[in-house]
Structure 1
Amino acid sequence: MLNLLGQILIYVVPFLLVLTFIVTIHELGHFLIARAFKVKIDRFAVGFGRAIASRTDRHGTEWRLGWMPLGGYVKFSGDLDAASVPDKAGLAELRSRVIAENGPGAERDYFHFKPVWQRALITAGGPFANFVLAIAIFSAMYMALGDVVAPPRVTNVTPDSAAAAAGFQPNDLILEANGGVIRSGEDVIRIVTLSSATPVDFVVERAGQRVELVATPVRTVTQDAISGEIKVGRIGLEMGYRRDEVRFVRYNPVEAVGAAVNKTGEVLSTTLHYLGRIFTGRESGDMLNGPLGIAKAAGGISQQATAGEAPVSLKAANLGLSLVQLAAILSIGIGFINLMPIPVLDGGHLVFYAYEAVAKKPVAARVQEAGYRVGLALLACLMLFATWNDLQKLSLFKFLGGLVS
């Protein structure tokens, strides 16, 4: 029983805290822009289910804390359907009802009767808030902690590996990969792991000369302490650094924001690159995580942050910093996913609004309904695929197979 409680504290609690925080910020993005445009809002909820606590502000908005910490939501007055995009008939019915209850002109306070550009900005406010959150977190970390720049040097080349075939030698200083400047070993790992069976162009410094090398990563099954078993590209290099080449960089507020924006762009670029390789059949997609995988990652990060001999205060600070970093990465992911042009997501709503702006009328009800169902099916397939990956990496099927045999 104590072991079960320990697992819940390590895996479930950090996951729920991070997820609820990110989703709340996402919904707050919708809320703040809607409030700026004087949209009537019924409720802003953190968590789902029965309310633990609630209050109503002077604008008539209920602020609610639900007992299930699985995210949150904002409810605009007059929402008629799950997609929040009623058709022409639905708008007419809503307008008549609002006028009958509150008098002529009251409909102008409702989301659905705002100009299409305002509705689009309100809808985009959620993903935008996720990106702003990530930039704020990275900026704070750069200002508080700075950054360590340690150009990677090759310390060992595995015999008969892709790196050996490419001509890498110990003490090579890696300067570039695929045209991008390499600042650390993490840059090399990020590029190589997502380039299985695809040649990578390197530039190294050897004895004061620039040398161009081409290595093709080999897809290899590896066991990651946080993600579990995954298939990634490997070329057979071990990297280190020389102490005299390590630089500690401090950032002022402007530089920190610039570096944070670059970091956020880098995460988005890597995500798009990986998804593109999945759709072209060059990656298996086993690094796509669902809720189980994210919970496992949160637990793994928590264990790593609190491992070893150190004062409790230092472990707590390390844990907090690690979870905040995870929140930044997940916030970018949630913002990106919500911008996908799927009707049940913010991106799908933006597609509907783009049509409305051009056609001067909302999308027909039957089209919305069909899009909504297709969107749900796509999301369900994506969730099933990600959950399948999670279960594979958790070795659940091997465990069940052992029970059956």
Structure 2
Amino acid sequence: MDIIGLLPSFGGFIYTIAAFVVALSVIVAVHEYGHYIVGRWSGIHAEVFSIGFGPVLASRYDKRGTKWQIAALPFGGYVKFLGDSDPSSGRDAAALDDFDAEERRRSMHGAPLWARAATVAAGPVFNFILSIFVFGATLFFSGVASDPLTVDEVRPLPVEAQGLQPGDEILSIAGYPTPPLDEMDGYMEQLPREPLLPYEVRRDGEVIEVRAPHPYPPLVGAVSPQSAALDAGLREGDVILSVDGEPVSAFEDLRAVVGESDGGTLLLEVWRPGAGGGEVTEVTLAPRRVDLPTGDGGFETRWLIGITSGLFFEPATQTPGPFEALSYGARQTVSIVESSLSGLYHMAVGAISSCNLSGPITIAQTSGDMASQGVSSFIWFIAVLSTAVGLLNLFPIPVLDGGHLVFHAFEAVAGRPPSDRAMRVLMSVGLALIGTLMVFALTNDLFCP
């Protein structure tokens, strides 16, 4: 056996697992801290705060008597409150019977209903807060494009782009006035598909005309995880020169060819930046069928290779205000929730493939892919996954936070909690549902294309 030859694959596996553990640990820590801190504010005592399950690797007690620990199996975590019989907040009836009035008030099951409900809801809420802050911080530190659109730095390209210089304000392209960057989609459809276009720019107070490439050339702005492009070795910064021998000068040309491929193999001629003017290489790949959300809440199936476009220059940016950044973070989080719910509905009615439901293997692989693209991509992925975890935990399934909230709603209406027997039965049903869902998702990981 070629042990040396296996080392790169083994190293990639370890890297993927490490990235997955880091992402999951951050999300779990934030989720469980939400339970812990709101419970503490509500007068409920936490006995154990654990990252991971199983044998304890390290622990310490704080001044409040809470045991903080890291356990050997890093695929989850929990907070065990006073009066809980287990990490899933099962009721320890014997212990509760022995508590005096003060101890019962400090227990999870003896605290007022509002305190229990707030403590349960805090976990998913903190996941959403994490997402909002990460998305908002990303916008805050990366900035928003200046208006008018202004060149900051020109990317390396196989065609001469030095007609544009840093500081140029782009007034029009091919005679069409330039809109703000967030309104570019419709604008791109008007522009000619030619290697070089006339740009009217303001430079040092003077309006001049220069020639430069299409604003969105067939440039690889980013590579999606679990995609044909990633598997074929395409990289950020690559420029697609031709597809099956046909030249492409705009990203929309590439999108059209891929969309009409019906999944057939494509031969891409690719220019890759580097010393000596870069190099030209060939890449073969087959587009994959992907279900994409549409603006009206539906889905459409398209053939994709898994790359996003980018301007051939870095635009000058300005720092948004904190409110603008947080508003953006909130919109991103809401958008993920809406598309996730829409996706689940469309899978349930058979409108899209159930293969869109990813399991732990795919999520772990995506963690590794995003980490390999850089810290910012990995942090963005953590925010996306945190939103998904927060949403999942709100599903009204016993053992999840949403199930506990349903129990609390029942108590608010009926004036009493569900019986211990009913709770045991419902918890068993919830575990069975979660187990079935995990098996289904794992099957998707193993057998879906």
**Length-normalised TM-score, structure 2:** 0.63
Match of 2:110 in 1: 113
> Shift of residue 68 of structure 1?
2.6
Q: How much is the aligned-residue C-alpha RMSD, in angstroms?
A: 3.5
After superposition, where does 1:6-405 map in structure 2 within 5 Å? 6-80=11-85, 83-84=88-89, 86=91, 91=93, 93-99=94-100, 104-147=101-144, 149-150=181-182, 151-152=184-185, 231-232=290-291, 233-234=301-302, 248=317, 250-303=319-372, 305=373, 319-393=374-448
> Could you list the runs of 5+ residues in structure 2 that have no partner in the other structure?
146-180, 194-215, 217-258, 266-286, 292-300
Match of 1:164 in 2: none
CA distance in 2, matches of 1:335, 1:84: 18
CA distance in 2, matches of 1:29, 1:239: 35
CA distance in 2, matches of 1:267, 1:342: 21
Q: What's the secondary structure of 2:434's corresponding residue? A: helix
What amino acid does structure 2 have at the position aligned with 1:260? G
> Shift of residue 249 of structure 1?
5.7
Contact 2:289 2:303 in 1 (8 A): no
What amino acid does structure 2 have at the position aligned with 1:234? R
Compared CA separation, residues 283 and 221, structure 1 to 2 (3 A) = farther
> Shift of residue 247 of structure 1?
8.0
What amino acid does structure 2 have at the position aligned with 1:152? D
CA deviation vs aligned residue, 1:54-93 (integer Å, no higher than 9, x gap) = 111111111112233223211111113565254xxx65x4
What amino acid does structure 2 have at the position aligned with 1:382? L
> Shift of residue 301 of structure 1?
2.0
Contact 2:288 2:303 in 1 (8 A): no
CA distance in 1, matches of 2:303, 2:439: 32
> Shift of residue 169 of structure 1?
8.5
> Shift of residue 268 of structure 1?
0.8
Contact 1:268 1:332 in 2 (8 A): yes
Contact 1:219 1:234 in 2 (8 A): no
What amino acid does structure 2 have at the position aligned with 1:121? A
**Length-normalised TM-score, structure 1:** 0.69
Compared CA separation, residues 147 and 272, structure 1 to 2 (3 A) = farther
> Could you list the runs of 5+ residues in structure 1 that have no partner in the other structure?
156-167, 173-183, 185-216, 306-318, 396-405
Q: Which has the higher contact order (CA 8 A, sep 6+)?
A: 1
Compared CA separation, residues 280 and 55, structure 1 to 2 (3 A) = same
Compared CA separation, residues 241 and 22, structure 1 to 2 (3 A) = closer
CA distance in 1, matches of 2:131, 2:121: 16
CA deviation vs aligned residue, 1:310-364 (integer Å, no higher than 9, x gap) = xxxxxxxxx2111111100000000000000001100000000000011111112
CA distance in 2, matches of 1:63, 1:109: 18
Q: What's the secondary structure of 1:84's corresponding residue? A: coil
Contact 2:83 2:96 in 1 (8 A): no
CA distance in 2, matches of 1:111, 1:142: 39
Contact 2:28 2:77 in 1 (8 A): yes
CA distance in 1, matches of 2:102, 2:383: 42
Larger radius of gyration: 2
CA deviation vs aligned residue, 1:141-192 (integer Å, no higher than 9, x gap) = 111002453522587xxxxxxxxxxxx98769xxxxxxxxxxx9xxxxxxxx
Q: What's the secondary structure of 2:56's corresponding residue? A: strand
CA distance in 2, matches of 1:59, 1:3: 47
